Structure 1
Amino acid sequence: MTGSPLSSPTFHLPPIGKIKCTPLEDLKNALELLRALYNPVVHSSRLLGRQSMCPRVHITSEDEIDFEQLCRRNTDIMTRLPFPSDRFLDLLRSDDFERSYAIRWLTALVSQADRFVDYYDEDTCCNDPVLEQQKMQWEKLIEDAAAILAICAGSASAGTISRTFVFHQPAGLELRVQVTDLPLQNQDFSSVGAQTWGGARVLAEMIIGSPRTFGIELRGSTASPIRILELGAGTGLVSLATGKLFQAHSARSIPATIIASDFNPAVLANLQHNIDINFTALSGPSPTNIFARALDWSTFPSSSSIHVPFDTPFDVIFGADIIYEAEHAAWIKNCVRVLLRHPLNSFDTPQFHLVVPLRPTHTAELRSIEETFLVSDGVRDTPGGDELGIVAKEFLACQADWGVRSKHEDLNIDKYVHYTIAWVKTGLGTF
């Protein structure tokens, strides 16, 4: 089924009354559809192109940069992904009738487990490797069906979606991160962090692809432990992916503490859940520790809010899709001013990495970032100083399953801006 469009369960699944006589391979295909629909694997966003810009040049509109030309630099990956759009899948997943039918179908399949497995009793399978293999396949089928049924039944009332994100390092290492998305709670827009947004996918992909670019050194016996903070972590994809990166190199990696922060109680509870399902299965001590902690930008810093773990500054701070109100940039700057560690020398550059979508409806928010974080001819690029400034800016074009269709016939792209913010010196002079 890989590469073929997903269809609705009522259309694709074998009739419930004919499950008994449905071939094993057809049942496997049916489960593959349900797994892809209700427990999807989401590949990273596939960067098509990147273009660095002078931090002092204000770009507040997608019309001011030629994304078509930017994408054509990577013509080998400009083909459209052979998967249905996120919009279509979201509509299908939210269809109560389709989900109800899937639950009934899976229940019918699991209820017949005894018939499937008992057929291959010890006498039948004795000294017959072919029959033994078939028995194992049936047992695996029933296990998979039960697992998918639990997901469907559990999310039928809650409206949750479990996703598995897959990222690849240049050396070929595959990292898998599982997250649970929750629905918006009673129009409470402070709970929007319970969904995984595109900027988190983009930032996580870039971190996995080039950790050193983001100040992450994975190896070194004499290197100091690293402290990493994610602001507005939401489902925690960026923190979880970073944690998986350290975990994959645990034999030689430096100790790391990762704090995934948010402030909405429902978001924090889901964030902790996502940390648990990705990391609590570790055996033995690990040099990587990841925690979910509450942080309210609007009140930080205050004497009552600067407590563990925020009483010690961080080496790296991440933020993805976290500025969607005009005041957010100022609040975030107040937080970063306290939470980002000052450099120890000219080679030490603690940084805040911020990824935001480039949307025509959010130009005011984008402008507020460049107005809040100092961008001017009076900023030196020498590390140090007492001011936070944008020291690098790049535009990112990413292939999307659906989105703004470009002029290129086969290409859908999402557009983002990546800001690198650090401590800089102010005064006369230019870059």
Structure 2
Amino acid sequence: MSATLGVSVFLTTVEDDLAGGVNIVGDIYPAGATGAGRRNILIPCGISVTPERYQVPAGRYVVSATLPSGAVLTEDVEARKGEETLVSLDASDSPYETHSWQYLMGNIEPRRVYHDPSTVPVPRSLGSRSMGAAARAAGVNDHGGAEEPPPIWPGKATWIGNSTTSSWSFESMIGLAALPPATPIADVIADSPPQVVAAPDATDGTSHLFRFGADGPLGAPSESYGNRQFLAVEIADAAHLVTLPAPWSSAQIEVLVNTRQSPTGSAIAVTVRDPAVGAGLAYMARGALGTAARLFTDVDSMLYSKNQNPLSAAAGAYVLVGTDLTDEPRHWDPWLEHLRDWFGWMSDGSVLCATRRLRQASTEADLRRARDGLIEAYSRGVPFYTLGLSWLIDGLSEFPDDPECASRLRQARLLSWRVDMREPFVIVNLRGRPR
């Protein structure tokens, strides 16, 4: 008779949109001479989720969960014959409950580190987080509630709901970095009046959390928004242009602006509060495409429903193309073509098609088609995903003797030096030295 392990991860997701929890990926390893492991299992994660039950031979096991942050939670348990053993791993170490999603994604330190001033090092590299750290103010408590005095938001965040098509180009984004510091970034790229976000949705004066829906900041929606939305973030002498992956069906977009000086992460992080694939996007950004594929449990469906959410479909396509390294035809190849043909405002579709063509090329004509696809992708503007920017650079690098490819490669590289490639979506550092 077998035993049962009921596995879950506790996370204080107090907001209604994540009430049902999310899935993350883990493993069950036999700890003794007997037993059989289970690899890449799905584990529900949330405040009151139902454990996922796995049948195993009786014996001792190590149950582990790999968070999107890269942290690994483990517990040693004994599975008794004919019984169910519950295993609840703890991921509730966020500095604030309001920031629990960001903690799960790896964008903010654990509570014990965050609240201990002696653990905050001075950054020693350009890749370290630094936004001109503001003085720490009293703010949200451990339960996410407000304290006195009210926290301070020391910067300016401007939502650009409707940007000009020309502003998506590589040349335009590189040019923004050359603007005089006093130039309002939002006014330069907006096609309709931009909207200043008065205050973060949660802040302690140091870590500032903004949330957006399909039509702009939560609580202050707008009817004026287009295919590509941005957030311009300016604090002291730092300025960033943040790609917002909106609209993303009904899921909220969360932006963390962190002015702490710490080498553990990015100055600005963008996540999608999507219970189905939000964690998968974080795995994808860290290069764990195989792990992301476990969470994108129905990638075919994501691509097939591209009209409802083309950005989600593109994420699924990156996982498909990134994990299938053969040159054999796949049933989803035509769907990549549709993603490119139907959504010209999203260059990711062209990047995906060109990458796939380059991998399958067997003749000079095939190579020419791939090359033309890369040129098309560049002409459509900077991709939404940093993975798309990376693949575009890799593809253009395959044609070093082609002047058109070489000139575009130079521009793409120039921009990439200002982009935080650790993030899933493109965030451009507009001031200061590039990376």
TM-score, normalized by length of structure 2? 0.24
| Structure (1 or 2) with the larger CA radius of gyration | 1
Between 1 and 2, higher relative CO (CA 8 Å, sep ≥ 6) is seen in 1
User: TM-score, normalized by length of structure 1?
Assistant: 0.24
Which structure's residues are more often helix, by fraction?
1
